[in-house]
Amino acid sequence: MDSRDDYVLRVSNLSVTLQDQPILDDVSFNVKKGSILAVVGPNGAGKTVLFRALLNLVPHSGKIEWRGKAKIGYVPQSLSASDVPISVREFLSLKNPSNVEGALSSVGLDSKTIAEKRLGVLSGGQLRRVLIAWAIIDKPDVLLFDEPTTGVDLDSEEAIYRMLKDLAEKNGITTIIISHSVHIVSEYSDHMLAINRCMNFFGESKQINDQSLQKVIYGETECKHDSTPTGD
């Protein structure tokens, strides 16, 4: 039987209403320490709002329990860097000046060739990696990624997800990723949470390939609480 210490996050009956509009309704799930959870659902399903609730940035009801004093790193879906007149080194140094080279190396970037470049001249893939370096530079326990490969090509997308999985495995980091890709979810995550304002499904990621679950997973049917979190 799993113990409470196996879980870094427990969410029970989470609901969010913004400007009198229900955004999330009665969402419950658990995340094991060191695992990777993929959050899936159609556009407008409330996935980013879920992240904001987990970060305590929006009012909500229900219960969000982080284990201990979890240190959380966050990578947003997008960042407009074209007008930011600072270099990669300056950007990362705002958070931790002593670990710039280490953070860049962790995400597969050579500090000698990229650290002095301005953020605005980076390619989409390079910028995503720099944002991930920003998220991990102070060695968090948990990483939240809101579609971490937005704006990159397919080859770069695959490489970034391989890197994220490697980071999670090597450092024991618990990772929660918002993604639309069936392949990415099944290949690079352990469990999957499907939401469309309410919770459609919570279970093993490999089940995303089950054709009978596709409409449920992607919110094409009424919300069904098909699975409930396991553990004590």
Is the separation of the CB atoms in 216 and 224 below 8 Å?
A: yes
Q: What is the mean pLDDT of the chain?
A: 85
- Domains delineated in the chain: 1-71+142-150+173-232 (3.40.50.300)
- Position 86 pLDDT exceeds 70: yes
pLDDT band at 223 (very low <50, low <70, confident <90, very high): low
Question: In whole angstroms, what is the distance from residue 101 CA to residue 129 CA?
Answer: 13
* Section 65-81 average pLDDT: 81
DSSP for 175-211?
EEEE---HHHHHHH-SEEEEEESEEEEEEEGGGGG-G
Q: Is the pLDDT of residue 229 over 90?
A: no
The residue ranking higher by pLDDT, 45 or 228, is: 45
Categorize the per-residue pLDDT at 197 as very low, low, confident or very high, splitting at 50, 70 and 90: confident
- 129 vs 230, residue with greater confidence: 129
Q: Which of 8-17, 96-105, 151-160, 163-172 has the lowest mean pLDDT?
A: 151-160
Does the structure show a pLDDT above 80 at 34?
A: yes
Question: CA nearest 197: which of 67, 7, 50?
Answer: 50
- Interatomic CA distance for residues 73 and 86, integer angstroms: 21
Per-residue confidence band for 200, with pLDDT thresholds at 50, 70 and 90: confident
Instruction: Show Cβ contacts of residue 194 under 8 Å, excluding neighbours closer than 6 positions.
Output: 39, 40, 41, 200, 201, 202, 216, 217, 218, 219
pLDDT for res 153:
66
From 16-20, 168-172, 174-178, the region with the lowest mean pLDDT: 168-172
| In contact, 149 and 158? CB cutoff 8 Å | no
For position 83, what pLDDT does the model report? 60
**47-56, 61-70, 72-81, 172-181: least confidently modelled range:** 72-81
Q: Given pLDDT bands bounded at 50, 70 and 90, which one contains residue 88? A: very high
Q: Please report where in the chains the tokens 């159609």 appear, as a residue.
A: 42
Q: What are phi and psi of 214, to 5 degrees?
A: -55, -45
Residue 12 burial (CB < 10 Å; 0-12/13-18/19+)?
middle
The DSSP 8-state label assigned to residue 153 in this structure reads: -
Instruction: With a cut of 90, say whether residue 115 has pLDDT above it.
Output: yes
**Sign of the CA dihedral with 180 first, then 183, 189, and 195 last:** positive
Question: Residue 60: its pLDDT value, please?
Answer: 96
Q: What are 178's strand-pairing partners?
A: 39, 146
Integer Cα distance of 130 and 136 in angstroms: 10
The candidate with the shortest Cα–Cα distance to 175, out of 194, 186, 189, is: 189
State the pLDDT confidence band at 157, using cuts at 50, 70 and 90.
Answer: confident
